[in-house]
Amino acid sequence: MWPLGRWRPGVAFFISSFLISISATGIIFIFLIVESFPIFQHEGLGFLSGSEWYPGEVYGALPMIYGTGIVTFIAVSFALPLALGSAVITSEVLSRPTRLVIKMMMELLAGIPGVVYGLLGITLLTTAVKNTFNLIDGNSFFTAGILLSIMILPTVMTLSEDALRSVPKEYRDQALALGLNRSETIFHAVLPGAIKGIAGAVLLGIGRAMGETISVMLVIGSLDRIPQPFYNIFTTGQTITSKLGREGAEALGVGYHWNALAGLGLILFLAVMGITFIGNSIVGPLSGRGINTKRKQKKR
Amino acid sequence: MKPLFTLKDVSLYYGESQVLKNISLTIDKGKVTSIIGPSGAGKSTILRTLNRMNDRIPGFQLSGEVFFDDENLYNNGTKVHLLRQNVGMVFQKPCIFPKSIYDNVLFGVRHLYSRRKHEFSQIVEETLKAVSLWDEVKDKLNQSALELSQGQQQRLSIARALAVEPRVLLMDEPTSSLDPTSTCAIEELVGRLSGNLTIVIVTHKLDQAKKIADDVVFICEGKLIEHGRSENIFSNPSQQQTKDYLKWHLCKC
Ligand SMILES: Nc1ncnc2c1ncn2[C@@H]1O[C@H](COP(=O)(O)OP(=O)(O)OP(=O)(O)O)[C@@H](O)[C@H]1O
Ligand SMILES: [Mg+2]
């Protein structure tokens, strides 16, 4: 049936899926470059530094770049301490059954689609933010940042927990045997061994936060502006993704407007690719080794 | 003289299985006590009872009493980390942190004496000299300790335990993964350190126990079979099981 030998189908599947993913990434990249090229010709670097965006006149991407940056920053600032704290407690304090339940819940949460978070965001979160901070409008950078922090929390938490558990049990025993108490053991023996894995988890979380579209679109208010002063995060704004989500369909293929949106896409693509790449190269080899150590320990 | 450790009718369980059976035992101050017995007898378990390292094993349960001086260790009041600062431990396989030699020696000390920073380099020199490692590493204290040989790593982990200035050193087969030269170095070290320090060492090498121990404890299947002066146990054991074990290296208990 397989004239070239029995191993052929497996190799063929491997090669074809590898080629498909490589070429898809390549095609997207080339597509974005080609489609956005005219806007860089037209606006020059002003496309990156301009803060005015009026279709048909001027295209400045800075408010969206700012929005993506600040919203991601808020998301990580809130998610990281929570995720790390709960990862430490789950890995170092809780019993095995409890830990497994929590891990399962986290992995479930990580799989909930963004739009569901978005709906919860517009109903509950915007009102809560509005009332808490006495705002006229509950849609803001802050709201989007908080919503994103809730969305990336499970991923960051569960990957950080994996990193903590991959630290060999011997390190803990050795630190305890030297008379360190539980928290000193965590700080001096466990966290240093897990720091790379945690950094990787955070970078993957950042990548996810930067790319999330629909939920951000629903709570950010969609106004292309950098707030005055720039740290006033309780105002409405725009991110790259929310901009693309709103204007993508109407601008489809139409002149500079379309080219400018493709330019935004290119910026986001490069940023997310870069961060995911760094994240994977930090996490990948390390977590692989960690899983092995973990298995060995469970057997004993 | 009053013993340092006193075990009174200690039984230890992991879940359903009973690992130590009604053990009563005293361990003298300043002596080298060697625990011998076949594999799985419960040697490591007894040792780890003395610094409460068994506590977090699932299903752990202990009955009876363990005294360290006058302190009942399994009373609720015992501060476990303070106990372990007094009762140090060296494991079978040296556990070296991915840090410099210098930082490894100070691992147990840094958080203790944060006020005594100026003494750190002196502590490092003294403890490394105590384990005869100083001459080998004094020029590369800031290099990674992972580059040391297995025997050097084990001596480093002894230095690290000594740096905390414990009164007791528990050693669980500290030479079983080492070459003969390193083994001799550690046996010599044990002899030199005893006196000021009480040492309890688990081994299943009988010649090692004969060489370094003042007292010998023979256990088998969780039961204490015989405990006495080293010369008595090896030349004239009182129990038939001990005779069999010394001769054939196995026992029916
Ligand atoms: N973490 C654990 N969980 C459950 N049972 C254990 C655990 N550690 C040890 N045991 C059991 O306790 C008994 C005694 O083990 P222990 O490690 O004290 O023996 P040992 O005399 O030190 O043996 P060895 O010479 O092989 O090191 C064994 O039957 C072992 O299976
Ligand atoms: Mg053992």
pLDDT digits (tens, 9 = 90+) for A111-154: 899 899 999 999 999 999 999 998 888 899 999 999 999 999 99
Question: Low-confidence residues of chain B, pLDDT below 70?
Answer: 113-115, 253
Rounded Cα gap, residues A258 and B164, in angstroms: 68
What dihedral angle (degrees, nearest 10) is formed by the CA atoms of A141, A145, A151, A152?
A: 140
When scoring A93, A95, A173, A174 by the number of chain B Cβ atoms within 10 A, the one with the most, hence best to mutate, is: A174
Q: What is the pLDDT of residues A191-207, one digit of tens each?
A: 999 988 899 899 989 99
Q: Average pLDDT of A157-176?
A: 94
Rounded Cα gap, residues B44 and B52, in angstroms: 12
Instruction: Judge if the beta carbon of residue B217 lies within 6 A of ligand 1.
Output: no
DSSP single-letter state for residue A180: -
Residues 6+ away with beta carbon under 8 Å from B217: B25, B33, B34, B35, B36, B46, B224, B226, B227
Residue bearing the CA closest to ligand 1, atom 9: B45
When scoring A93, A178, A181, A186 by the number of chain B Cβ atoms within 10 A, the one with the most, hence best to mutate, is: A178
Instruction: Judge if the beta carbon of residue B134 lies within 6 A of ligand 1.
Output: no
Residues 106-125 of B with CB under 8 A from A: 107-108, 110-112
Q: Are A47 and A259 in contact (CB under 8 A)?
A: no
Whether B84 and chain A come into contact, CB under 8 Å, resolves to yes
Contact assignment for B91 to A180 by CB distance below 8 Å: no
Domain residue ranges of chain A, discontinuous segments joined by + = 45-283
Q: Is the pLDDT of residue A294 over 60?
A: no
Whether A107 and chain B come into contact, CB under 8 Å, resolves to no
Q: How many CB pairs under 8 A join A and B?
A: 56
Phi and psi, residue A175, nearest 5°: -65, -45
Mutate to test the pocket of ligand 1, among B10, B36, B44 (most ligand atoms within 8 A of CB): B44
Q: Average pLDDT of A91-101?
A: 91
Contact assignment for A179 to B98 by CB distance below 8 Å: no
Instruction: Judge if the beta carbon of residue B160 lies within 6 A of ligand 1.
Output: no
Handedness of CA A31, A37, A38, A44 (dihedral sign): positive
Nearest residue to B76 via CA among B62, B57, B59: B62
Amino acid (1-letter code) at residue A71: V
Contact assignment for A177 to B93 by CB distance below 8 Å: no
Rounded Cα gap, residues A107 and B60, in angstroms: 31
Q: Is the pLDDT of residue A74 over 70?
A: yes
Mutate to test the pocket of ligand 1, among B13, B14, B35, B56 (most ligand atoms within 8 A of CB): B14
- Give the CATH number of domain A45-283: 1.10.3720.10
Residues 6+ away with beta carbon under 8 Å from A148: A71, A72, A74, A75, A79, A209, A212, A215, A216
Q: What is the pTM of this model?
A: 0.82
Chain B residues closer than 8 Å to A286 by CB: none
What DSSP line would sit under A61-86, residue for residue? -HHHHHHHHHHHHHHHHHHHHHHHHH
CA distance B157 to chain A (A): 9
Rounded Cα gap, residues A208 and A110, in angstroms: 11
Q: How does A39-71 read in b/e, with b if 16+ C-beta sit within 10 Å?
A: bbeebeebbeebeebebeebbbbbbbbbbbebb
Chain A residues closer than 8 Å to B112 by CB: 179
Query: Would you call the peptide bond into A192 cis, given omega within 30 degrees of 0 as the criterion?
Result: no
Residue A284: predicted pLDDT? 56
Q: Are B111 and A188 in contact (CB under 8 A)?
A: yes
Q: Is the pLDDT of residue A3 over 90?
A: no
Residue A4: predicted pLDDT? 55
What DSSP line would sit under A87-149, residue for residue? HHHHHHTS-HHHHHHHHHHHHHHHTS-HHHHHHHIIIIIHHHHHHHTT-S-S-SHHHHHHHHH
Q: Is the pLDDT of residue A2 over 80?
A: no
Residue A230: predicted pLDDT? 85
Contact assignment for B53 to A175 by CB distance below 8 Å: no
